[in-house]
Chains A and B, each alone.
Chain A
Amino acid sequence: MLKQILNKFLILNDVQAAIVIQENGEIIESMKSGIVIKEELQGVIATIMLDSKKTAAQFGNASLSMVFVEFSDYFLILGPVMEEFYLVIIAKNSANIGQITYEMKKNQDAIVSLL
């Protein structure tokens, strides 16, 4: 069922992966296309999750809404789903960010209900 929801992201133009991941780097579920999620990438995502949570806390204990890291070829969007669970989208830089973030918000409750 979670795969079906993640697949909604994968059908968006130039999205390469949709992952539900825990703060410790453990992947709960993922859907990918043309990308291999190695341990190294898991480590990168875990670093972004933990560091960003800490950084957001520097704003008077603000909660983290979303993190967006962009490189010249790919970008990564990470949004908290619940507690220690995050939804991560990896896409080519030609992907439509607005569409991705809209789908993230739209499907958040459905993902929570499956965790």
Chain B
Amino acid sequence: MENSRFLVSSSPHIRSGETTQRIMLDVIIALMPALLAGVFYFGLNALTLTAVAVAFAVAAEAVMQKILGKPVTVNDLSAVVTGILIAFNVPVTLPLWMVAVGSIFAIAIAKQCFGGLGYNFINPALAARAMLLASWPVRMTGWVAPGADAVSTATPLAILKGGEAAGQALPGLLDMFIGNIGGCIGETSALALIIGGAYLLYRGVINIRIPVSYIGTVAVLTFLFGGFDSSAMFYHVLAGGLFLGAIFMATDYSTSPMTPKGQIIFGIGCGFLTSVIRFFGGYPEGVSYSILLMNLATPLIDKYTMPRKFGEVKKNA
């Protein structure tokens, strides 16, 4: 037993088993029910679109990191999450090359140009959605009804909003809950998204502050704006990707506040903007733009919601 060379480092000498990769894997697992629902309602094409989005996101990450001379970190799985979320935010009829462009934009521009994982100031998947919607507005709203025939349809919110979709029959609330409606691949089934969200809560990946304050605010405000009509409230809560946004996009670590109080403010802010856009703005939906806007406010929210430190005393002694 001679003195061999022992490692000397600063405490703590043990670390938890949690890793970035494990967290991202949990998010991927949590997104699977919604992917299955997407495939079930919109066909295998939903799976193809998702695979393409993921492949291009991962490739874009590796290429960008090579170009920037950084270590390639695609095995942290964060690009896979972004790829899935991009596919979830487009209609199933979108051409494959368009979703590929979205993936490249999300990773190369919105994420890597700002420093990579943890440094992006807006949600890369939502940035890609906004870019696609601005570039190909017709393609990005090419909704089809669930089923093999791919009959074109309108989303419930477009119907509620009026305009050219006015007059179409609104789907029933149960269909909206299970996802049997037109919309983006991953947004239609609130049920599947809630199952995924419950898994993330169980695993401690997210906490309930942002989803609950976001969805709660939308419920309250749409009830008020809709003239105290509870059925309108239910439509607004279940439609337009609110569950996808509230559970999976607004809770993105890099672009949402770290303080508990800040997370509640962030959720309320998202809910307020979503309701205002839907009732008073030009778009029928509004989840993605409200989250993007609140992303911009995140550093400020964090700054002004710093927790009261333990033992802080008023200077009056």
User: Is B one of A's binding partners?
Assistant: no
* Chain A interface residues (CB < 8 Å from chain B): none
